[in-house]
Amino acid sequence: MRPENESQGPVVRDRRRIDPATGQVRNPGEAGPPRGPAPSASPPRPGRHSVARPAGQGAQGAQAGGTGADGGPAGDGRQESGGASGDAAREQAEAAAAEASARLAERTADLQRLQAEYANYRKRVERDRMAVREQALANVLHELVPVLDDIGRAREHGELVGGFKSVGESLEAIAAKLGLTSFGEAGDPFDPMRHEALTHSYSPDVTEPTAVQILQPGYRVGERIIRPARVAVAEPGGEAEPEPAGRQPAADSAEASAGQARPGAAPDDAG
C-alpha cells in the first residue's frame, strides 16, 4: 500500500510577500497555500496587517469601493458628515462676520466721537486764546487812556503844536491800530452801559434822558468797553421855577443898599 502523500503529486508553495487574493502583506515565515490538485487545502490566512473580514470581500471591497452596513455605498456617511461640517463652518463664518461688523461700527462711533471732541477742544482753545489776548490788550490800552485825555485837552486849548503834536498824533494812530476807538457824542440817548452821568438837569428840549454834553469820551476795544463816556445828562422837565413872591429884584436891592450907605444925602426938592 502506497503512502497517502505520494498520491497527491508535487506541492508548490507560494512564498510571495503580498497575498494576490487579499492584497495584504503576509507574515515573514508564512507560506502561501500549496498549489496543486489538493482539494482539501485550507484557504489562506490573512496577514497580521490585514483586517479580519470574510475571504474574498477584501478584493471586492477594494474594487467596488466598499459597502456600508446597510448595503449602501460606504461613502454616504462621509458625505453626510461633510455636509454637516460645511453647515457648521458656514454658521461660524456668518457669526464671525457679524461680530466683525459690530466691532467695526463700535470703533467707527468711537472715532467719530473722538474727532468731535477734538474739534470742540480746538474751538474752545482758540476762543480762550482770543479772550486772553483781548484782555491783555485792554489792560495795556486802559493805561494809555489818561494820556489820550491829556492830548485831547491840549488840542482843545490849542497847545498841541510842534513836536508834541506829532508825538500825540502818533500815539493816537498806534492806539487806533490796536483797535482802540472812542465813542460818545452830544445828543446821544443816555445808556447806563455806555455812559457815566456826572451831572444831572432838566430841560424842555429833550424827550428822554439825553447826554447833552460830553465831558470825557469813552473808549472801547471791539465790544469790550475800557471806559464809559462821562457826560452831563438832561431829562425832560417843565419850565424854569418862578421867583418866590415878595422877593425884590436884585437891582432894587442894590440901589436901596447904596442909598443907605450915603448918610446925610439931600432929600428930594419938594418945591
Q: Which residue has better confidence, 134 or 242?
A: 134
Q: Please compute, for residue 35, the number of CA atoms within 13 A of its CA located in the half-sphere on the CB side.
A: 6
Model confidence at 28, pLDDT cuts 50, 70, 90, reads low
Report which residue type is found at 13: R
Interval 107-124 mean pLDDT: 93
Q: Which of 42-46, 52-56, 137-141, 251-255 has the highest mean pLDDT?
A: 137-141
**Per-residue pLDDT at 241:** 46
Cell numbers describing residue 204: 424842555
- Please tell me the pTM assigned to this model: 0.45
- Is 90 exceeded by the pLDDT of residue 108? yes
Q: What is the pLDDT of residue 229?
A: 93
Check if the beta carbon of residue 259 is closer than 8 Å to that of residue 220. Answer: no
Q: Please name every residue paired with 236 in a beta bridge, in sequence order, or none if there are none.
A: 203
Residue 25 near residue 49, CB atoms below 8 Å: yes
Q: Which one has a higher pLDDT value, 85 or 182? A: 182
Q: Give the pLDDT of residue 56.
A: 46
CB 211 within 8 A of CB 199: no
Query: In this structure, what is the dihedral angle of CA atoms 233, 234, 240, 244, given to the nearest 10 degrees?
Result: -40
Mean pLDDT of the chain: 74
Q: How many other β-carbons are positioned within 10 Å of the β-carbon of residue 24?
A: 16
- pLDDT score at 256: 42
Buried b or exposed e, range 215-233, using 16+ CB within 10 angstroms: ebbbbbbeeeebbbbbbbb
Q: Using DSSP bridges, classify how beta strands 224-227 and 218-221 pair: parallel, antiparallel or unpaired.
A: antiparallel
Is the pLDDT at 100 greater than 70, yes or no?
yes
pLDDT tens, position by position, 188-243: 999 999 999 999 999 888 889 999 999 999 999 888 899 999 999 999 875 544 44
pLDDT given at position 26: 74
Residue given cell 475800557 in the structure block:
226
**CATH architecture assigned to 181-236:** Roll (2.30)
Helix (H) or strand (E) holding 92: helix 76-156
pLDDT at site 148: 92
For residue 151, which of 228, 217, 224, 225 has the smallest C-alpha distance?
A: 217
Helix (H) / strand (E) containing 215? strand 210-216
- In the sheet with 180-183, reading across from the earlier edge strand, the strands are 180-183, 218-221, 224-227
| Mean pLDDT (whole number) for 79-97 | 79
What pLDDT, on a 0 to 100 scale, did the predictor assign at position 42? 52
Which residue would you say has higher pLDDT here, 121 or 14? 121
Report domain extents, the chain: 83-178, 181-236
Rounded CA gap, 257 and 254, in Å? 5
C-alpha R_g of the chain: 64
Cα 3 → chain centroid: 113
Mention every residue, 6+ apart, whose C-beta is less than 8 A from residue 110: none
Count of C-beta atoms within a 10 Å radius of residue 58: 19
The fraction of the chain above a pLDDT of 90, given in percent, is: 35
Residue 78 has a pLDDT of 53
